[in-house]
């Protein structure tokens, strides 16, 4: 299922895309493409038969939860979903105790939470793979699905221009990392007060120097999308920021992805949004529902990308 590439991901954790090498990123995408094609042909192997996967949600989720649960089931693994405030890491028990007990039952931990530090601590204690299903800093699984969607529609990622317009949030960080690993030209436009974290930019610039990617950040949406192959945005109000919603709507005026902004991108540019979207805020209905929009393919690819990732992390090299 991994083609000619060696599976160097066996047993590893993925807490951000920079946990992958450029080759490992391509391995995940190629495996996802193969598995997706095989599934549609009726080849329904269950390589993780007998395994169990904890899926822990400390923030709301629809896509991530459903796609991991179905992905685990399709691989033959049993998903153990914990999403209320009385389970897993939400009861005041130490991260050490919860992790060391949980891994007696399951073979991988998928977790969505607030602090990146928490998933790092879980991964330090765990002897099984840990997968970040979104933190305040990163959303690597969404990044994999998005890169898979771009690859399906545009072919090789290297050299493509990816423009992100909006908040310098977990998704912006993830596109910086995914673009750097894939040799893309990444342009990020945010309001000055909502820029990406400097340390993520610096780490991505180091990777870009090795892959041929370029990383540019600025504050002008038109600059970002001009001649872009891919235009992406995300909510201005991420989970946890809800009290700032009204202030943010004011601060992000001029950053809405509408048809006029899309007209600056290449004619065959595609539009992505991880969803959920706030239609009428960061993006218009016209763009969301327009011919360039791939949002539903992108959402479906959560399943295929994560299924490939779990398969690679949880099978022997
Ligand atoms: N895109 C995404 O992660 O969606 P959910 O919050 O619904 O999981
Ligand atoms: N930036 C968003 C992504 C949701 C999938 C959030 O963190 O809420």
Q: What percent of the chain has pLDDT over 90?
A: 95
Q: Which of 80, 65, 171 is nearest to 112 (CA)?
A: 65
Position 1 scores a pLDDT of 53
Position 291 scores a pLDDT of 98
Position 4 scores a pLDDT of 67
User: Average pLDDT of the chain?
Assistant: 97
| Span 292-304, average pLDDT | 98
* Span from the CA of 224 to the centroid of ligand 1 (angstroms): 25
Position 90 scores a pLDDT of 81
Position 168 scores a pLDDT of 98
Position 315 scores a pLDDT of 96
b/e map 20-34, b = 16+ CB within 10 Å: bebebbbbbbbbbbb
The full set of domains in the chain, from first to last, is 17-138+302-314 (3.40.50.1370), 140-298 (3.40.50.1370)
- When mean pLDDT is compared across 52-56, 85-89, 264-268, 304-308, the lowest value belongs to 85-89
pLDDT value at 92 more than 90: no
Which of ligand 1's atoms lies nearest the C-alpha of 134? 3
With 0-12 / 13-18 / 19 or more C-beta atoms within 10 angstroms meaning exposed / middle / buried, residue 309 is: buried
In tens, the pLDDT along 112-134 reads 999 999 999 999 999 999 999 99
In tens, the pLDDT along 279-291 reads 999 999 999 999 9
pLDDT tier at 155 (50, 70, 90 boundaries)? very high
Position 65 scores a pLDDT of 97
pLDDT tier at 52 (50, 70, 90 boundaries)? very high
In tens, the pLDDT along 229-273 reads 999 999 999 999 999 999 999 999 999 999 999 999 999 999 999
- Which residues, in sequence order, are bridge partners of residue 81? 55
Q: Quick one: tokens of 230? A: 């891919």
Prediction pTM value: 0.97
Mutate to test the pocket of ligand 2, among 144, 239, 244, 295 (most ligand atoms within 8 A of CB): 239
Position 317 scores a pLDDT of 80
The one catalytic residue in 63, 65, 139, 273 is 139
Sole residue written with tokens 């153990």: 80
Which whole-number Å values give the CA distances from 232 to 59, 88, 112, 117, 268, in the listed order?
23, 34, 22, 27, 14
The reply to whether 234 belongs to the active site is yes
* Span from the CA of 183 to the centroid of ligand 1 (angstroms): 26
**Cα(315)–Cα(216) distance, rounded to whole angstroms?**
37
pLDDT value at 3 more than 80: no
- Which residues, in sequence order, are bridge partners of residue 214? 185
pLDDT tier at 91 (50, 70, 90 boundaries)? confident
Sign of the Cα torsion 43, 48, 49, 53 reads: negative
In tens, the pLDDT along 192-221 reads 999 999 999 999 999 999 999 999 999 999
The one catalytic residue in 63, 142, 173, 187 is 142
| Span 65-84, average pLDDT | 97
**Is the shortest distance between the CB of 171 and ligand 2 below 6 Å?**
yes
Q: Establish how many alpha carbons lie within 13 A of residue 314's alpha carbon, considering only the half-sphere containing its beta carbon.
A: 26
In tens, the pLDDT along 164-188 reads 999 999 999 999 999 999 999 999 9
Q: Establish how many alpha carbons lie within 13 A of residue 247's alpha carbon, considering only the half-sphere containing its beta carbon.
A: 6
| Span 104-118, average pLDDT | 97
Q: Tell me, letter by letter, the H, E, C secondary structure of the chain.
A: CCCCCCCCCCCCCECCHHHCCHHHHHHHHHHHHHHHHHHHCCCCCCCCCCCEEEEEECCCCCHHHHHHHHHHHHCCCEEEEECCCCCHHHCCCCHHHHHHHHCCCCCEEEEECCCHHHHHHHHHHCCCCEEECCCCCCCHHHHHHHHHHHHHHHCCCCCCEEEEECCCCHHHHHHHHHHHHHCCEEEEECCHHHCCCHHHHHHHHHHHHHHCCEEEEECCHHHHHCCCCEEEECCCCCCCCHHHHHHHHHHCCCCCECHHHHCCCCCCCEEEECCCCCECCCECHHHHCCCCECHHHHHHHHHHHHHHHHHHHHCCC
Position 77 scores a pLDDT of 98
| Backbone torsions φ then ψ of 92, nearest 5 degrees | 95, -5
Contact status, residue 200 vs residue 96, Cβ threshold 8 Å: no
């Amino acid at each position: 299922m991994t083609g000619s590439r060696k599976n160097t991901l066996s047993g590893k954790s993925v807490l951000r895309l920079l946990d992958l090498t450029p080759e490992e990123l391509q391995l995940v995408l190629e495996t996802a493409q193969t598995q997706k094609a095989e599934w549609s042909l009726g080849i329904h192997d269950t390589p993780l038969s007998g395994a169990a996967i904890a899926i822990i949600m400390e923030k709301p989720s629809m896509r991530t939860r459903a796609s991991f649960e179905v992905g685990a089931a399709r691989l033959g693994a049993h998903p153990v979903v914990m999403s209320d405030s009385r389970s897993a890491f939400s009861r005041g028990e130490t991260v050490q105790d919860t992790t060391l007990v949980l891994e007696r039952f399951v073979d991988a931990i998928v977790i969505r939470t607030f602090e990146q530090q928490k998933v790092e601590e879980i991964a330090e204690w765990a002897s099984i793979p840990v997968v970040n299903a979104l933190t305040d800093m990163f959303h690597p699984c969404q990044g994999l699905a998005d890169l898979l969607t771009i690859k399906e529609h545009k072919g090789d990622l290297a050299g493509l221009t990816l423009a992100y317009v909006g908040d310098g949030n977990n998704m912006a960080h993830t596109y910086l990392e995914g673009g750097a690993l894939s040799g893309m030209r990444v342009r990020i436009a945010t309001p000055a007060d909502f820029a990406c974290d400097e340390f993520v930019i610096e780490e991505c610039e180091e990777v870009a120097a090795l892959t041929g990617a370029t990383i540019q950040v600025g504050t002008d949406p038109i600059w970002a999308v001009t001649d872009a192959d891919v235009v992406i945005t995300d909510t201005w109000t991420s989970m946890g920021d809800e009290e700032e919603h009204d202030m943010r709507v004011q601060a992000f005026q001029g950053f809405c992805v509408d048809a006029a902004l899309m007209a600056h991108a290449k004619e065959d540019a595609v539009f992505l949004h991880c969803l959920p979207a706030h239609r009428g805020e960061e993006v218009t209905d016209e763009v969301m529902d327009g011919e360039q929009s791939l949002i539903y393919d992108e959402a479906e690819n959560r399943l295929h990308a994560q299924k490939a990732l779990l398969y690679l992390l949880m099978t022997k090299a």
